[in-house]
Chains A and B, each alone.
Chain A
Amino acid sequence: MHPATSPTAGAPAGRDHRTPLTRRRLVRGLAAVALAVPLALGAAGCGDDSAGGDGGPVKLSVFWWGGEARAKLTEDALALYTKKHPDVTFEKTWQANQGYFDKLATLTAGGNPPDLFQIDDNYLAEYAGRSTTLDLGSYRDSGKLDVSKFPKSLLEYGVVDGKLAGVAAGENTQGLVYNKTLLQKNGLPEPTTGMSWEEHIAWAEQVAKKTKVPGTQDPSADYKALWVWLRQQGKDLYKGKELGFTTEDVTKWFELWKDARDAGATPTPDVIHEGNSSDITKQLVVTGKSATSWVWVNQMPDLKKNTKDELGVVAYPGDPSAQWARASMYWSVFKGSKHKDVAVDVINFLNNDPEAVALLGTDRGLPSNMDLRAKVSETATDPAMKQSIQVESDLAQKFGASPQVPIKGHSKVKSELVKAAENAQYGRATPAQAAEQFVTACKAAIA
């Protein structure tokens, strides 16, 4: 990063060797440093280049984010593909979620993107809108990509501007996770699906009073909670290329949570911020700083691993038909890939081959292929996995239609929501001011 040591720092100053500093020497040294440092900034835009191998047997590059468990499962599934197609081998790269999209963007800029990569709905439109992803529509039509067993809405959720940009690697939905042990110990009722938001907050207040643990993590900065809430008000996050909500809607949302905070139902702003900015392993329900957290249902096993307490999960408050079968993540193919057909075949394999799907389990969400989903559910043994399958299958019957995939600029909309909501949480802005700030910033972001 920035140079902590200066080039001259190491030069010993001899006691008997006194050379007075001359202006010229100093100026020269300074000029060199002053020039070199900002110069390096200019290099920000360049990616590195390395040629990919080609000819003869196919070597397909695959890139995904996740933890070690996912890496193991994915590697096993890909090895299975190689076993069945000995001429195809894989160059596998994976890393943690943080920094994944920086890396993917840089690889793309360097002209060396992976043939096959994992992507989520936050970025799918960004990539599809810039024609980075291959339109898989023709493969779907020709049957090379078999999606006949997919829920229709799940498949639809991979379509951007009429093109099939990504194929769901799994299905998940929003889930409100709560600390069962804590509630039972204190004789408190568990939250249920279908509770209204007001009921949820009243419940959380009750929990806070009895247990001294804040009942619910204020999710006002969480786009997926806002999204569900908006859909329950007959609005949406996006409508076509525009916002699907108004300043008034967001004001109401922020006010709802201001009241919750004032009533003592939520943690203090700095703790909320901690929850907003940390990864799944440090969610407040796991660290014991709140009785509930707002997550995706397929993250349950990960949450479980980090706490001794028993966890339960229900839908977000309000009408559960506002939730939908969301592609937890997609597989997409780079448009310029030299091995498009093979890459699509691998996607087909990962989604429809019984052995591969059994290997992958529910790590990326429920399997997209309904027949295989049923099979995986029957054979699941891990209790956390069983629970998330149970909850998601129950919720699946209440799902509404999928919204459109978030549009270009969505990543900025997400971060602007965090900023505006935290402004309100820390009391630096009224809900109305924060909403105004958010909507203005969103309009600029998606323009």
Chain B
Amino acid sequence: MALTTAPGRTPRTGPAGPRPTRRGAGRARLGEGLAGYVFLSPWLIGLMGVTAIPMLLSLWLSFTDYDILTPLSEVRWVGLANYERMFTADPSYWHAVRVTLTFALIAVPLKLAAALGVALLLNRAWRGVGLFRSLFYLPSLLGGSVALAIVWVNMFNRDGAFNSFLALFGVEGLPWVSDPDWALETLMVLAIWQFGAPMVIFLAGLKQVPTELYEAAAVDGAGAWRRFRAVTLPMLSPVIFFNLVLETINGFQGFTAAFVLSNGTGGPVDSTLMYTLKLYISGFTDLEMGYASAMAWVFLVAIGVVTAVFFSTGRFWVHYSDGDDS
């Protein structure tokens, strides 16, 4: 849908670019530069056409009353009206912000904890570890898929598999997905379950930790917990940082599952009205694309600010091996 990442759409650099021919020495340097751009061009064209131009267009649209149906040439400039309305006159906007923050604040840390925990377990040499790595990674491969969300909804509705499982223990389940108090939690569990991507990155990070450090720590009498606190965590902090930033951005952008679960409405009673879903409804159901564009831009800035905050606090807890920073 609208949130497809740019890299997927951008044509990859292929063998299409013409090769620079052998020429005089002076022209060779120029040719080299040109060749660079030629090789870059598929990506550049993709960036400009698919991302940058529509993006700038949406910035302009955010100051207009564009409603999709009216041709672009006839839209009316409304100044900051869309932004004003968003901040002062649309309670459901703030509701969406709250839902999204709740989702991200709970789901992201739990997902990272699960990813790190499983990565630590799988970072050992035992038989079949490769199989488990693949199995745990599988859910994230299916990540944004609609099919998975549909399965999830069916698992967690009143007559779903989860409640049948609970019934084995004599527990009567709830209609998780159609209860406004539990629908968002169901989505969080889905997000947490897909911890495979950060897990693989953690695994890669764990492999980078020099074994001498563990040996030295063990010689000094450090136990397992101490080794984890004093060696693993600091050495892994750049990877944790990377995953934290990435997953937070992903968390903010959660859309598919909420869309499927609520049939595109954000219900029951707006409990799953994620920011991107609100944006989608404004743009495509309510035909207020100008307003939706304004929302997208505020979102962009907000994610930028959150990321900047992460970076500025990073210096206090992220340790880099190149030592340019304590």
Residues of A near any B CB (own CB < 8 A)? 1-9, 11-13, 15, 18-24, 26-27, 29-30, 33-34, 36-46, 98, 101-102, 105-106, 108-109, 111, 126-127, 130-132, 268, 270-271, 273-274, 277-278, 409, 411-412, 415, 418-419, 422-423, 426, 428, 444-445
Q: How far is the CA of A426 from the CA of B242 in the complex (A)?
A: 41
Is the CB–CB distance between A26 and B241 below 8 Å?
yes
Is the CB–CB distance between A44 and B58 below 8 Å?
yes
**Pairs A–B under 8 Å by Cβ, sample size 16:** A3-B5, A3-B250, A6-B197, A22-B322, A29-B242, A33-B246, A34-B249, A39-B6, A41-B2, A41-B279, A102-B285, A111-B71, A130-B69, A274-B175, A277-B268, A422-B268
Is the CB–CB distance between A5 and B140 below 8 Å?
yes
The verdict on A39 contacting B249 (CB below 8 Å), with A5-B141, A19-B208, A21-B208 known, is: no
What B residues does A101 contact at CB under 8 A?
284-285
Q: Looking at the assembled complex, report how far the CB atom of A370 sits from the nearest CB atom of chain B, in whole angstroms.
A: 33
Is the CB–CB distance between A38 and B210 below 8 Å?
no
Query: Which residues B131-149 have CB closer than 8 A to chain A?
Result: 140-145
The verdict on A270 contacting B197 (CB below 8 Å), with A23-B320, A426-B269 known, is: no
Q: Looking at the assembled complex, report how far the CB atom of A427 sits from the nearest CB atom of chain B, in whole angstroms.
A: 10
- What DSSP secondary structure best describes chain A's contact surface? helix
CB < 8 Å neighbour of B143 from A1, A22, A418, A444: A1
CB < 8 Å neighbour of B201 from A9, A19, A422: A9
Q: How far is the CA of A24 from the CA of B196 in the complex (A)?
A: 26
What B residues does A277 contact at CB under 8 A?
178, 262-263, 265, 267-268
CB < 8 Å neighbour of B268 from A33, A105, A273: A273
Instruction: Name the residue on A nearest B262 (C-beta).
Output: A277
Q: Looking at the assembled complex, report how far the CB atom of B296 sits from the nearest CB atom of chain A, in whole angstroms.
A: 5
Instruction: Name the residue on A nearest B204 (C-beta).
Output: A13
Q: How far is the CA of A126 from the CA of B69 in the complex (A)?
A: 9
What B residues does A130 contact at CB under 8 A?
67, 69-70
Instruction: Name the residue on A nearest B211 (C-beta).
Output: A18
Q: How far is the CA of A270 from the CA of B27 in the complex (A)?
A: 74
Q: Looking at the assembled complex, report how far the CB atom of B300 sits from the nearest CB atom of chain A, in whole angstroms.
A: 4
Is the CB–CB distance between B268 and A45 below 8 Å?
no
What B residues does A271 contact at CB under 8 A?
158, 175, 178
What A residues does B2 contact at CB under 8 A?
40-41, 43-44
Is the CB–CB distance between A273 and B267 below 8 Å?
yes
What B residues does A36 contact at CB under 8 A?
5-7, 51
Q: Looking at the assembled complex, report how far the CB atom of A418 sits from the nearest CB atom of chain B, in whole angstroms.
A: 7
Is the CB–CB distance between A42 and B59 below 8 Å?
yes
Q: How far is the CA of A84 from the CA of B77 in the complex (A)?
A: 49
What A residues does B197 contact at CB under 8 A?
4-6, 9
Is the CB–CB distance between B253 and A44 below 8 Å?
no
Q: Looking at the assembled complex, report how far the CB atom of B186 sits from the nearest CB atom of chain A, in whole angstroms.
A: 12
Q: How far is the CA of A270 from the CA of B158 in the complex (A)?
A: 9
CB < 8 Å neighbour of B242 from A30, A105, A108, A423: A30
Is the CB–CB distance between B285 and A415 below 8 Å?
yes
Query: Which residues B262-284 have CB closer than 8 A to chain A?
Result: 262-265, 267-270, 276, 279-281, 283-284
What A residues does B157 contact at CB under 8 A?
274
**Binding-face segment, B17-25, B34-42, B224-232, B287-295:** B287-295
Is the CB–CB distance between B242 and A26 below 8 Å?
yes
Q: Looking at the assembled complex, report how far the CB atom of B46 sits from the nearest CB atom of chain A, in whole angstroms.
A: 11
Is the CB–CB distance between A44 and B246 below 8 Å?
no
Q: Looking at the assembled complex, report how far the CB atom of B246 sits from the nearest CB atom of chain A, in whole angstroms.
A: 6
Instruction: Name the residue on A nearest B248 (C-beta).
Output: A34
The verdict on A46 contacting B69 (CB below 8 Å), with A21-B238, A37-B5, A40-B5 known, is: no
Q: How far is the CA of A144 from the CA of B179 in the complex (A)?
A: 54
CB < 8 Å neighbour of B296 from A18, A42, A428: A42
CB < 8 Å neighbour of A415 from B142, B249, B265: B265
Q: How far is the CA of A7 from the CA of B205 in the complex (A)?
A: 15
Q: Looking at the assembled complex, report how far the CB atom of A341 sits from the nearest CB atom of chain B, in whole angstroms.
A: 23
CB < 8 Å neighbour of A4 from B90, B143, B267: B143
Q: How far is the CA of A29 from the CA of B4 in the complex (A)?
A: 19
Q: Looking at the assembled complex, report how far the CB atom of B269 sits from the nearest CB atom of chain A, in whole angstroms.
A: 5
CB < 8 Å neighbour of A1 from B1, B61, B158, B205: B1
The verdict on A45 contacting B289 (CB below 8 Å), with A5-B141, A9-B200, A428-B269 known, is: yes
Q: Looking at the assembled complex, report how far the CB atom of A407 sits from the nearest CB atom of chain B, in whole angstroms.
A: 13
Q: How far is the CA of A27 from the CA of B325 in the complex (A)?
A: 14
Q: Looking at the assembled complex, report how far the CB atom of A261 sits from the nearest CB atom of chain B, in whole angstroms.
A: 15
Is the CB–CB distance between A37 and B69 below 8 Å?
no
What B residues does A41 contact at CB under 8 A?
2-3, 253, 276, 279, 296, 299-300
Q: How far is the CA of A84 from the CA of B68 in the complex (A)?
A: 37
